[in-house]
Structure 1
Amino acid sequence: MKILYLMRHAKSSWNFDGLSDQERPLNNRGRTDAPQMGQALAERNIQLDLLVSSPAVRALSTAALVAKEMGYPPERIQVVDGIYEADLDRLVDVVHGLPDEAGSVLLVGHNPTITDTVNALSPSLINEMSTAAVVCLHFQANSWAEVSRQNAELYFVDSPKNHED
């Protein structure tokens, strides 16, 4: 079995003129939501074999904050350049290319592609992944190259909205 967690990066800031899109940081809400979602994943007793992220600052910051809450060593976060600006086919290729020794992987990326990827790989459709939302898919597969909608089960969808006081 392969378990894939697809996460949209937390809310980012648009308040920095002169920064490229890839350099945009998280805003205050994003810096709150990302660790909150990391705590929610930790409460589910999820153990990651691999955490991969887009190189964009907002995605990598999300990944680092989630990793800290889950007890995943931040230095083991794998940055995959192809996630940034990936279209659906490219992001599915990234998933299919994950190392088979990793049974449980969290991938942090961007919309609209992260939502498109969820919908391409899941038997259930999701309208749109909100910022910091996480979808968990279980695949009856021995290799990441084999994962598809046909062998997938949507296990859960979670977002910061589910954890508001």
Structure 2
Amino acid sequence: MKKLLIIRHAKASHDSDYEDFDRPLKKSGIKDAEQLAKKLETEGLIPQKMFTSPALRAKTTAEIVAKHLDLPELGFIDEVYEASESALLKMINQFPNQYDFVALSGHNPGLSYIITYLTGDYCNLDTCAAALLIFDTDIWNAISADTGKISWFNEPN
């Protein structure tokens, strides 16, 4: 069985001093990411590997979660930034099969679209929301439309 934890980045600044790629998390976003990390730890949801968009807000969210859960070095995938549903599926299908539980930190609308596509259930992730998808397969390449189900979901308070 493969498990995929999808995390939308926490709340970021909309200050016009920043390019979109470089927008930092707000204080409330940092707090939400810390709370998510604690919730994952409490629930025993510790991925073996975490991949993230290199955009500052997704990267910082992933770093907070990874540090709290004592995860190995993050993997950065440039294409996660502004990725479409089909681009995200291609990435997921290429995850190394040595990992049965992978986390992916990124952006909407792509993350909400891929969850909906993979599960057949409409999903709209709020900032710092997370969804755990499970798949009855041992290879990432077998994951496609309607092959997964949401087994856990969390939104910030």
> What TM-score bracket applies, with the shorter chain setting the length?
over 0.9
Q: Give 1:105 deviation, angstroms.
A: 0.5
Give CA deviations for 1:25-66 in whole Å, capped at 9, x if unaligned: 001111100011011011111221110000000000000001
* Structure 2 residue 151 is matched with structure 1 residue 155: yes
Gaps of 5+ in 1: none
Counterpart contact for 1:53–1:83, Cα < 8 Å:
yes
* Structure 2 residue 126 is matched with structure 1 residue 130: yes
Please state whether the residue corresponding to 1:37 is helix, strand or coil: helix
Counterpart contact for 2:94–2:141, Cα < 8 Å:
yes
Equivalent of residue 76 in structure 2, options 70, 75, 79:
79
Please state whether the residue corresponding to 2:51 is helix, strand or coil: strand
- Measure the CA separation in 1 of the matches of 2:153 and 2:145: 16
- Measure the CA separation in 2 of the matches of 1:91 and 1:41: 23
Q: Which amino acid aligns with 1:5?
A: L
Equivalent of residue 114 in structure 1, options 89, 111, 114:
111
- Measure the CA separation in 1 of the matches of 2:45 and 2:6: 14
Aligned CA-pair RMSD: 1.1
Please state whether the residue corresponding to 2:6 is helix, strand or coil: strand
Q: Give 1:151 deviation, angstroms.
A: 3.0
Return the TM-score normalized by structure 2: 0.95
After TM superposition, which residue ranges in structure 1, 4 or more long, deviate above 2 angstroms?
148-151
Q: Give 1:16 deviation, angstroms.
A: 4.8
- Measure the CA separation in 2 of the matches of 1:149 and 1:3: 15
Match of 1:89 in 2: 86
Gaps of 5+ in 2: none
For residues 14-33 of structure 1, the aligned pairs below 5 Å read 14-17=14-17, 19-33=18-32
Please state whether the residue corresponding to 2:45 is helix, strand or coil: coil
Please state whether the residue corresponding to 1:94 is helix, strand or coil: helix
* Structure 2 residue 140 is matched with structure 1 residue 105: no
- Measure the CA separation in 2 of the matches of 1:98 and 1:61: 22
- Measure the CA separation in 2 of the matches of 1:45 and 1:93: 28
Q: Which amino acid aligns with 2:31?
A: T
Give CA deviations for 1:119-154 in whole Å, capped at 9, x if unaligned: 01113222x100000000110011101013443221
Match of 2:57 in 1: 58
Return the TM-score normalized by structure 1: 0.91
